[in-house]
C-alpha cells in the first residue's frame, strides 16, 4: 500500500469513523486512510524529534561562531571609524552593550531555532487541519487575523516600553562605571554618591516594572481573546451537536486542533517578548555598524623613504572642528635628523597638529608628507613603518610586562629586550615584580606608576626603531635624572625626534622650535634659546 501524502488532509474525517470502526459498519477504505495518516504523522513526529536533537547538537557551535564574529566585527569596525566619529561615542556605553550582545545573540538564536520556529510550524499544521475540517472556517479566519493584528500591536507597544527601560539601564551602567573609576574622588563625597546611584537604580527599577506590567496587561488581553475564541467554538459546537448538525467526534477534533493552534500562540508571546528584548542590544550594534568607516588606502608593502625628502612636511593645511578654526594655511617642515620642539599654551592645537601629522586626522585643505610620501596615499599601517608616537596616556593592555613591551615590534631578540630594559631604567622595577617580565601590569597599566608607564612606552619605542618618534608630554612623570638618561639613549638611537609640550623644555637637546600661539603662527628658531 502506497502512502498518500494528501491523506493527512483526510485525517479529520477519519476520526469521524472511529466509532463506526468499533461498530463494524465503517466503509473499509477509511481504515486505509487512517493507517496512511498515522504513518504520515508518525514520520512527522520522528522528524520533529530528530530536528530537536540536531538543534541541540548544533546550536551552541552556531551561536559561538556568531558571537565570535560579532565581537571581531565590532572591534575592527570601531578601529575603522574616523577619529571624529570615534570621539562622539561614549566608550563605556559601547563596552556595556558589547558585553550584553553575547547573551542577547545566544538567547535570540536559541529562541528562534529551538522554540519559536517549531511553534510556528505547529500553528501552521493545526490551522491547515482546521481549514480542512470545514466547520467554523469563516470565524477561525477572522479570529486568526484579529489575533495576528493584536499580536503585532502588542509587540510594537512592548518594544517602545523596553527601549525606554534600556536607555535608563545604559545610564545606570555608565554611572556605576564612572563611580568606580572615580573612587578616589567619591571617597570624599560618599553620601552624595550613594544618593545619586540609589536614585538612578530606583529609576531603572521603576521603568522596568512599568514596562513589564504594561506588557503583562497585553498578555492578559490576548489571553482573554483566545479564551473567547475557544469558548465560542465550544458553545456553538455543543449547540450543533445538540441540534444534530455537527458530529461529536468533529467537535472533539476541532477542540483539540484549536488548542494546538491557540495555546502555542499564547506561549510563544513570552518567547517573542524575550526575542525582541534581545534585539534591542542587537539594534545598538547595528547602529554602531551604520557609522561610516574612514576610507583608507590599501597597503603597498614595505615603503622606502624618498632620498633627500624631509621627515615631516606640512604645507598650507586648513583644519577646523565645525566652526572652530584651528589651523589656517599652516606650514611646518621637520628635516631628517632634527630634534624639534613644538610648544604652546594649553588648547592652542598641539594635539590636533599631532593627529594631522600622524594621519589620524585629515586636513580640509593642504598636504602632509612623511619621508616624501603623501599621508593621503598611505594606510595608517604604512605610516607606522616610519613613525611612532607616544601619547600622554600611554597605550597599555591588561597583559604581562613583556607582552606590552614587544607589542607592535615584530620579531625581537632576547638581547634587544634586555638592552632596552636597561636603557629605560626598568631593571629595578622588574626585580620588584613577583614574576618578572611575565607579571601582569593591570588594566591600562594600572599596577605601574605614571613614570613606569612612560619608561615602558619609551622602551617599546626603542625596540621599534622608528625613523621618526613623537613625544606628547611623555616624560613629565620622570624625575630629572631618569629623564636625562632615557632621553640620551632615545636621541642616540632614533634619527628624528619631535617633542610636544605646553612649556619650553629640553633646550639643550633640540635644534628647532615650533611655537604655536592663539594667532596660529608658527615660529622657527635654530638652536633656540628660551
Taking phi first (over 0 means left), then psi (-120 to 50 degrees means alpha), and beta for anything else, what does residue 436 get? left
Q: Which of 268, 86, 170, 181 is nearest to 444 (CA)?
A: 181
Distances (CA, A) of 490 to 32, 424, 497, 500: 93, 9, 9, 15
| Residues 6+ positions from 260 with CB-CB distance below 8 Å | 122, 125, 126
Which burial class, exposed, middle or buried, applies to 58 when counting CB atoms under 10 A from its CB (0-12, 13-18, 19+)? Answer: exposed
* CB-CB contact of 148 with 222 (8 Å): no
* CB-CB contact of 169 with 100 (8 Å): no
Sign for the pseudo-dihedral over CA of 482, 487, 490, 491 = negative
| Crossing angle between the packed helical segments 480-493 and 450-464, to the nearest 10 degrees | 10
What are the pLDDT tens digits along the chain (530 aa)? 444 444 444 444 444 444 444 445 445 455 565 666 666 667 666 766 666 666 666 666 777 777 777 778 888 888 888 877 887 787 767 776 676 676 676 677 677 666 667 777 777 777 777 777 777 777 777 877 777 787 777 777 777 777 777 778 778 877 887 788 788 788 888 888 889 888 888 888 888 888 778 777 877 887 788 788 778 878 888 888 788 777 777 777 777 777 777 776 666 666 666 666 677 777 777 788 888 877 766 555 667 778 888 889 999 888 888 777 888 888 888 888 888 888 877 778 888 888 888 888 888 899 999 988 888 888 888 888 888 888 877 888 888 989 988 888 878 888 888 888 888 888 888 888 888 888 888 887 888 888 888 888 888 888 888 889 888 776 666 667 777 777 778 778 888 888 887 656 556 677 888 888 765 444 444 444 33
* CB-CB contact of 94 with 101 (8 Å): no
Query: What pLDDT sits at residue 528?
Result: 40
CA 415, CA 418: separation in Å to the nearest integer?
A: 5
Query: What pLDDT sits at residue 32?
Result: 61
CA 27, CA 21: separation in Å to the nearest integer?
A: 8
Write down the pTM of the prediction: 0.64
Query: What pLDDT sits at residue 244?
Result: 79
Cell for 238? 455543543
Cell for 397? 593592555
Query: What pLDDT sits at residue 58?
Result: 65
Query: What pLDDT sits at residue 200?
Result: 86
Amino acid at each position: 500500500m502506497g502512502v498518500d501524502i494528501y491523506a493527512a488532509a483526510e485525517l479529520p474525517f477519519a476520526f469521524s469513523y472511529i466509532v463506526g470502526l468499533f461498530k463494524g459498519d465503517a466503509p473499509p477504505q477509511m481504515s486505509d486512510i487512517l493507517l496512511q495518516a498515522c504513518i504520515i504523522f508518525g514520520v512527522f513526529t520522528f522528524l520533529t524529534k530528530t530536528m530537536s536533537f540536531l538543534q541541540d547538537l548544533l546550536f551552541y557551535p552556531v551561536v559561538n561562531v556568531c558571537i565570535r564574529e560579532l565581537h571581531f566585527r565590532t572591534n575592527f569596525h570601531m578601529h575603522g571609524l574616523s577619529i571624529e566619529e570615534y570621539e562622539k561615542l561614549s566608550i563605556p556605553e559601547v563596552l556595556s552593550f558589547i558585553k550584553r550582545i553575547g547573551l542577547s545573540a545566544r538567547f535570540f538564536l536559541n529562541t528562534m531555532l529551538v522554540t519559536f520556529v517549531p511553534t510556528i510550524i505547529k500553528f501552521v499544521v493545526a490551522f491547515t487541519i482546521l481549514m480542512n475540517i470545514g466547520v467554523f472556517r469563516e470565524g477561525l479566519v477572522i479570529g486568526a487575523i484579529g489575533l495576528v493584528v493584536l499580536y503585532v500591536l502588542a509587540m510594537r507597544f512592548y518594544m517602545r516600553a523596553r527601549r525606554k527601560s534600556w536607555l535608563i539601564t545604559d545610564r545606570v551602567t555608565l554611572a556605576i562605571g564612572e563611580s568606580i573609576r572615580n573612587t578616589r574622588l567619591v571617597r570624599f563625597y560618599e553620601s552624595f554618591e550613594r544618593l545619586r546611584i540609589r536614585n538612578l537604580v530606583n529609576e531603572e527599577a521603576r521603568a522596568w516594572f512599568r514596562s513589564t506590567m504594561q506588557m503583562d496587561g497585553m498578555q492578559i488581553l490576548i489571553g482573554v481573546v483566545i479564551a473567547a475564541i475557544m469558548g465560542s467554538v465550544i458553545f456553538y459546537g455543543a449547540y450543533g451537536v445538540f441540534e444534530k448538525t455537527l458530529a461529536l467526534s468533529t467537535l472533539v477534533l476541532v477542540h483539540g486542533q484549536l488548542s494546538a493552534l491557540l495555546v502555542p500562540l499564547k506561549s510563544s508571546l513570552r518567547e517573542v517578548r524575550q526575542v525582541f528584548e534581545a534585539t534591542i542590544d542587537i539594534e545598538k550594534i547595528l547602529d554602531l555598524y551604520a557609522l561610516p568607516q574612514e576610507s583608507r588606502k590599501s597597503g603597498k608593502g614595505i615603503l622606502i623613504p624618498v632620498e633627500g625628502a624631509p621627515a615631516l612636511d606640512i604645507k598650507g593645511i586648513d583644519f577646523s572642528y565645525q566652526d572652530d578654526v584651528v589651523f589656517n594655511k599652516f606650514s611646518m617642515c621637520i628635516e631628517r635628523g632634527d630634534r624639534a620642539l613644538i610648544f604652546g599654551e594649553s588648547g592652542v592645537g598641539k594635539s590636533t597638529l599631532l593627529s594631522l601629522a600622524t594621519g589620524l586626522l585629515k586636513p580640509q585643505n593642504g598636504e602632509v608628507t612623511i619621508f616624501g610620501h603623501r599621508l593621503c596615499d598611505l594606510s595608517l599601517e604604512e605610516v607606522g613603518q616610519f613613525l611612532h608616537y607616544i601619547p600622554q596616556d600611554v597605550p597599555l593592555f591588561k597583559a604581562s610586562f613583556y607582552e606590552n613591551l614587544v607589542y607592535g615590534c615584530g620579531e625581537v631578540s632576547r638581547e634587544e629586550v634586555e638592552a632596552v630594559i636597561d636603557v629605560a631604567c626598568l631593571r629595578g622595577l622588574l626585580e620588584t615584580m613577583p614574576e618578572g617580565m611575565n607579571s601582569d601590569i593591570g588594566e591600562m597599566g594600572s599596577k605601574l606608576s605614571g613614570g613606569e608607564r612612560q619608561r615602558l612606552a619609551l622602551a617599546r619605542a626603542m625596540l621599534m626603531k622608528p625613523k621618526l618618534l613623537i613625544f606628547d608630554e611623555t616624560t613629565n612623570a620622570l624625575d630629572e635624572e631618569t629623564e636625562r638618561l632615557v632621553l640620551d639613549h632615545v636621541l642616540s638611537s632614533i634619527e628624528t625626534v619631535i617633542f610636544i609640550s605646553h612649556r619650553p623644555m629640553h633646550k639643550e637637546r633640540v635644534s628647532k622650535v615650533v611655537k604655536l600661539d592663539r594667532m596660529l603662527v608658527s615660529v622657527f628658531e635654530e638652536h633656540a634659546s628660551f
